[in-house]
Structure 1
Amino acid sequence: MSKQQAETLRYEGRPYAKQDEELVDQGLLFDIGTLLSRRGVLFAGAGAAVAGLAACGTTDPNATESSSAPDSSGDLAEIPEETAGPYPGDGSNGPDVLEESGIVRSDIRSSFGTGSATAEGVPLTLQFTIYDMANGSVPFEGVAVYAWHCTRDGEYSMYGEGLESENFLRGVQIADADGVVSFTTVYPGCYSGRWPHVHFEVYPDEASITDSANVIATSQLAFPEDVCDTVYAEEGYENSVENLAQISLESDNIFSDDGGESQMGTVSGDVANGYTITLAVGVDTSTEAGGGGSAPSGGGGGAPGGGEMPSGEPPANNG
């Protein structure tokens, strides 16, 4: 190597254009060349980084982006519209508990107002998550959900013989920001002619519950057979064992359309600690609600014994 080559001045690998001048005096063309050289290195590095990330992404063929994770209401369909049955207590057939102060409550095991009785049975937390299907199936915050069901003996408060002044196992909750309402209650029994169920109505808001004509959805929740078998082996549910043996989801006059699939609750828990049952409820306000308090002929309303919708004074519930 010659002395001249050894003493060649360079900057970032590029020889000075003017070997006898300082770096700051190399001129405009030298400066432009330096910038272009830097940009080429930068782009090459960025390309390598992208290629590296792409290579990493292919190591797991099952990896997905978080945005592709299924939404909690992803496969949700509109809840089937059902009858409110002969014992709604919403003013559509006799008494109206929704006009009484105190109906908005989470614990529905005891009567309020003039009533004093408390329903007995295996503890149950009843939870609905309401979705607004007319607006992209977002949680339906602010809607009011009225839920009611029979006792472990298969009787309904406000209608059953000796229960006319009681209003237990009935209550209203307002959906939170997640569309959730929750009730503390007891596991209902099974009466003759119907699969174990809970009735519920959805109203636009709390202020609208005093008129059943305002309802935007009326439906029923079904209980899984295996859980019913376990619960009905407990003391107090003796009548339910025989009644359940005589009915199926396929023969029930409400759930027979799809074997209860679209209205079947998801249950967790046990007898000792109580159960929790949950149901996702799609409500589409762009369609017409038609449940109300009427029942189709043949007992579709869920009257104990499978009778038709009563007229006149509410009959006693014989379980």
Structure 2
Amino acid sequence: MVHFSKLATAVAAACLASTTIAHPGEHHDLAAIKREIVARNQMASAAKRSIDSCSSSLKHRELNARSIARRAETLHSIRNARGIKSKPQKYRRDLATLETYEAVDHNETGLVDYTVGSSDTTIFSANTSCILTPEVTDGPYYVTGELIRKNVTEGQAGIPLYLEVQYLDINTCLGVPSLYVDIWNCNATGVYSGINVTGNVADGGWDSTFLRGIQSTDDDGVVAFETIFPGHYEGRAIHTHLLVHDNVTLLANSTMQGGAVTHIGQLFWPETLRSAVEATYPYSTNTQAVTSNAEDMWSIVQAENDYDPFPEFVYLGESIEDGLLAWIQVGVNVTADYSDDDYYQVAAVLQADGGHETSNSVGGSGGGGSAPSGAMPSGAVPSGAVPSGF
């Protein structure tokens, strides 16, 4: 018998009555955040209705069939490449069991058993529904000029994470090709690269590039990254940043510039998974206070089933140290452009001569908006950041 677990995470809305620090050195007007959460949820509800109307179409069913086959092949390929012989474990969640409580609470994890003969369809069909991940702030640590590359680890220690994100047009339920997706998250001890400010001193400072990169979606709207499971820092639940560009200009140095900002989002991770990861080294050396999903200032899990910010995931082997394969579908409005939104902030730019702070960085003088004039990358690929495949 192969044992899998069914994760039912019960979380509460964040308490917005007290002061919260989103990133080291960053402060927010919590009343404004509360208004933004209400507006975000209304947008999510409308988009969910739109995507529900097309989710039963033949083309969407064919898209999902290809997704099942792709995920299964990815799992087998990773296991073979890493020489993992033990059986993988599948952790599944039932979106209908996600409930909102007025106080912090969590459901127990229920166990579901699958036989060795369980089909790939049974294991890999879960998309946590055709969901919409609502737009939220990109945070104060977004860096432009990063390399187009799949493997962003740069030797950072941590639990290996192969992350697949599929972007769907909310009006057609079909994949959106040729989107360029930025990914970034902190390392196992809660430090972001590309930044060198109080509370976040990266090894390499403004010139560092670990756990950052860009990939383009394929014909099915799929992008995949090799990274590590993010660590934590005080004030925010563990999360992975994703930012989507459309109609970009590709440069000869494996970077991109320009285009519309179609989506700004964050992925979050279940508490039981976080606990399992953070029991391992070097996560276990992180002494910063942990903020749970229920305590997160952006109130990430809401009532209703309009969206689900948690990816589905598989343990590649019996131990979490073997790594994780995770996937999620994200509904996007392809006509949106958040380039001028207050929540699109560029903290630094990476150029041929290294990273440079902008006025939007933590402690800087600027507000939101796009990168300042002259910030676009040029020249050769930054040293120590050569792209690598899986």
Give the shorter-chain TM-score range: 0.5 to 0.7
Query: Pick from 264, 285, 291: which aligns with 2:334?
Result: 285
CA drift of 1:276 comes to 1.4
Report SS of the residue matched to 1:216. Answer: strand
Give the Cα–Cα distance (whole angstroms) in 2 for the partners of residues 213 and 275 of structure 1.
Answer: 32
Give the Cα–Cα distance (whole angstroms) in 2 for the partners of residues 236 and 109 of structure 1.
Answer: 15
Check conservation: 1:158, 1:167, Cα contact below 8 A. Answer: yes
Q: Return the letter of the residue paired with 2:161.
A: L
Give the Cα–Cα distance (whole angstroms) in 2 for the partners of residues 157 and 294 of structure 1.
Answer: 14
Which stretches in structure 2 are left out of the alignment for 5+ residues? 1-55, 65-126, 348-360, 367-390
Larger radius of gyration: 1
CA drift of 1:212 comes to 6.3
What's the TM-score, normalizing by structure 2?
Answer: 0.50
Q: Return the letter of the residue paired with 1:280.
A: Q
CA drift of 1:288 comes to 4.8
What's the TM-score, normalizing by structure 1?
Answer: 0.60
Decide which structure has greater helix share: 1
Give 1:108's aligned residue.
152
Give the Cα–Cα distance (whole angstroms) in 2 for the partners of residues 192 and 223 of structure 1.
Answer: 16
Matches within 5 A, 1:1-319: 72=64, 75-90=129-144, 97-98=145-146, 103-110=147-154, 118-134=155-171, 136-160=172-196, 161=201, 162-164=203-205, 165-207=207-249, 210-211=256-257, 214-240=260-286, 243-244=289-290, 247-256=291-300, 258=302, 262-269=308-315, 270-289=319-338, 290=341, 291-293=343-345, 309-312=362-365
Give the Cα–Cα distance (whole angstroms) in 1 for the partners of residues 59 and 165 of structure 2.
Answer: 25
Query: How many residues were matched structurally?
Result: 217
Q: Return the letter of the residue paired with 2:262.
A: I
Give the Cα–Cα distance (whole angstroms) in 2 for the partners of residues 280 and 119 of structure 1.
Answer: 27
The alpha-carbon distance between structure 1 residues 205 and 213, as it changes in their structure 2 partners (threshold 3 A), is: closer
Give the Cα–Cα distance (whole angstroms) in 2 for the partners of residues 77 and 66 of structure 1.
Answer: 16
Q: Return the letter of the residue paired with 2:325.
A: T
CA drift of 1:163 comes to 2.9
Check conservation: 2:262, 2:335, Cα contact below 8 A. Answer: no
Give the Cα–Cα distance (whole angstroms) in 1 for the partners of residues 336 and 135 of structure 2.
Answer: 10
Give the Cα–Cα distance (whole angstroms) in 2 for the partners of residues 198 and 231 of structure 1.
Answer: 15
CA drift of 1:139 comes to 0.3
Check conservation: 2:128, 2:328, Cα contact below 8 A. Answer: no
The alpha-carbon distance between structure 1 residues 127 and 312, as it changes in their structure 2 partners (threshold 3 A), is: same
Check conservation: 2:182, 2:212, Cα contact below 8 A. Answer: yes
Report SS of the residue matched to 2:214. Answer: strand
RMSD of the TM alignment (CA)? 3.2
Check conservation: 1:213, 1:292, Cα contact below 8 A. Answer: no
